[in-house]
Structure 1
């Protein structure tokens, strides 16, 4: 048995991991899109870019008997259309909530990266529907063609997110590949044969504790092999219990500039968390700037997902459920305005550019790589009244990382081929990441009664190295950076 990493091996996007069994058949976990400067490794031909021309599947799929999806963020599912185009027709396992959300993500991925032809899009979505196998949390499912048993456990990252346990019959020694599938496989030590199945756990993206709307991640019982994300492997977030107060204070400082507050946010997860906390601020602060503050969500996809979050409120945590019983509407409050049409979007951009009216605009994409946020940035970054507030991770090579890095220096960013000088104020607010930090990753590992080997993925080199050092100091297990 071996592990092949076809994405998120050297960076934080493009998650795709293959568990190949002794039979030669394999299981694929996630099939994500590369973003920013991250590619599949073919940098000689891609010039370090990840775009529509570099999403094709570059590894054989004939041996793949099933796909498991941990959650529906684009960096975990965005190459799924290309996988289907290559002929993949095997079962796709995911949680029930992910099955609700996934078609919208795939439709958007097709429109952005491939086609706007309605017939083609409908054809892909119909095919996807025939392959999806929705599974409840904590419920065993058997992949007959592989002879393995899987189960989804709550990851607390976004609605429907899970880490997945895969139990493999232990009738052969287990070897682990140290390199990704594009570069061959170097094998390491073996796990002894025994009656107990070998448990392989894929973390997907682990969320933080005390996140709005979502339960905390479930504990890890045991893992002979743990494929663990390391996005914040070298950092600890600011205190999350105080983040709402910091959000209020930053926005009040921003509005003192008499301009627009732009918050780039992912359509799934981050947008809903922000709305949840802004509603609570407005509920408790009814004077000053908050009396007439308007929150604009300008992202059709975010609006659709927010509606889905409301429909799936049975999956919300206890605190969110209490607010509903108090007749509060955390994701649909009075001064929330959702922009639907593109013409309305253009009118609002022009209006804010001309007037600088104080308001909060939440729009995708979270790393400023596309979507309607780019139009706001092109129009408002040169205006010193504007404030840009980052609340999430900005990958290397993305416009978001450039704005974050060069904005405070009065530099520029390239957007849609245009050089936009940054005169807006730029802020980064900690504690809003949807990813577990170093301490939470350590605590997740500590919940297990047994860990054999940990393989660190989904992180930049310095983050993986820092986390590996901490893990080796504390736990009696092998830690591998593929």
Structure 2
């Protein structure tokens, strides 16, 4: 058995999630995100590294997107429409519905800032035509050897963890997930699986966070104090799916 990983983004940083896994010769790109902190070449994963496997159209079996946040999908139209990838792309139905809204908003922000436009509105539409939407726990046969399956990840609407297997080897890639249910999403759920590799996000792995009750209490105290003093409260919520 041979499994190789090529980390193009989100290794020791938050953002630009993009990991390529080769399993028994089948190459899968998990996420294709952008880094929100950069406006130069560091914004997107360095796709030139894929060339060590040959032509990426021939090398990549598929792309899997875990959810619609830009740090997981922001580079996808660039990779497909500018770099020229033509292979299959998989994501859940809610992700496919919301991704174009996020990508178009990002494109408009780039234009508004006077930055070089990385992709056009038409590029986004053409990119999404390549997407196959999947249900949770649906077994999807990508080709004769490669099978994938999505599991509920919480985090935001449509977010998924993905299981992929080739022959007798299995891996799971999580993207962002949440084990604490909130007012509109449940905790992540996945079957008991025999795995050869687990790739998991770890953004808050070393952080001890206050309970949801404590955070809500502090937030409400700040709102009440402002209103009681005659002020007005403005709550900007850019994060689609969490507001």
Report TM bin, short chain: 0.7 to 0.9
Taking a change above 3 Å as real, the CA distance of residues 256 and 227 of structure 1, as seen in their structure-2 partners, is same
CA contact (8 A) 2:35 2:43 kept: yes
- Displacement of 1:8 in angstroms is 0.4
1:250 correspondence with 2:222 = yes
2-side partners of 1:212 and 1:249: how far apart? Answer: 20
Alignment of 1:317-466 (within 5 A): none
TM-fit CA distance, 1:53? 4.4
Q: Match of 2:152? A: 154
Larger Rg over CA atoms = 1
- What is the rounded CA distance, in whole Å, between the counterparts of 2:140 and 2:102 in structure 1? 25
Aligned residues: 226
Query: 1:128 corresponds to which residue?
Result: 127
What does residue range 67-82 of structure 1 map to in structure 2 within 5 Å? 67-82=63-78
Q: Which residue of 2 aligns with 1:111?
A: 108
Q: CA deviation at 1:82?
A: 1.5
- Go from structure 1 to structure 2 and tell me whether the alpha carbon gap of 1:204 and 1:57 turns closer, same or farther (over 3 Å shift): closer
Indicate the SS of the match to 2:200.
strand
- Whole-Å separation in 1 of the counterparts to 2:226 and 2:163: 45
Once structures 1 and 2 are overlaid, which stretch shifts more, 223-232 or 245-254? 245-254
Task: Name the TM-score, length of structure 1 as normaliser.
Answer: 0.44
Deviations 1:291-336 (A, max 9, x none): xxxxxxxxxxxxxxxxxxxxxxxxxxxxxxxxxxxxxxxxxxxxxx
Equivalence for 1:7: 9
Residue 51 in 1 paired to residue 39 in 2? yes
Equivalent in 203, 207, 221 of residue 231 of structure 1: 203
1:202 aligns with 2:190: no
User: How far, CA to CA, are the matches of 1:75 and 1:7 in structure 2?
Assistant: 9
Report the CA distance between 1:10 and its aligned residue: 1.5
More helix, by proportion: 1
Alignment deviations for residues 195-225 of structure 1 (CA, whole Å, 9 cap, x no partner) = xx22211111012412121122114522321
Cα displacement string for residues 94-114 of structure 1 (whole angstroms, at most 9, x for unaligned residues)? 011111111111212322335
Please tell me whether the aligned partners of residues 162 and 173 of structure 2 are also in contact (alpha carbons under 8 angstroms): yes
TM-score if structure 2 supplies the norm length? Answer: 0.84
Quick one: structure 1 residues 163 and 33, their matched pair in 2 at CA, closer, same or farther if it must change by over 3 Å? Answer: same
CA drift of 1:75 comes to: 0.5
CA 1:205–1:166 in structure 2 vs 1: closer, same or farther (change >3 Å)?
same
**2: CA distance between counterparts of 1:258 and 1:216?**
39
Runs of 5+ in structure 2 lacking a partner? Answer: 51-55, 111-115
SS at match of 1:238: coil
CA spacing shift, 1:5–1:116, aligned 2, 3 Å: closer
Corresponding residue of 2:90:
93
Q: How does 1:23-34 map to 2 (within 5 A)?
A: 23=25, 25-34=26-35
Distance change (3 Å), C-alpha of 1:56 and 1:214: closer
Displacement, 1:239? 1.7
Q: Is the 8 A contact 2:33 2:75 kept in 1?
A: yes
Does the aligned pair in 1 maintain the 2:20–2:29 contact within 8 Å? yes
CA contact (8 A) 1:156 1:208 kept: yes
- 5+ residue gaps, structure 1, are 37-49, 170-196, 272-482
Structure 1: how far apart are the matches of 2:87 and 2:173?
Answer: 20
1:57 and 1:82 in contact (8 A); partners too: no
* Greater RCO, 1 or 2 (C-alpha within 8 Å, sep 6+): 1
Q: Do the aligned residues in 1 keep the contact of 2:68 with 2:102 (CA within 8 Å)?
A: yes
Matched, 1:144 2:132: no
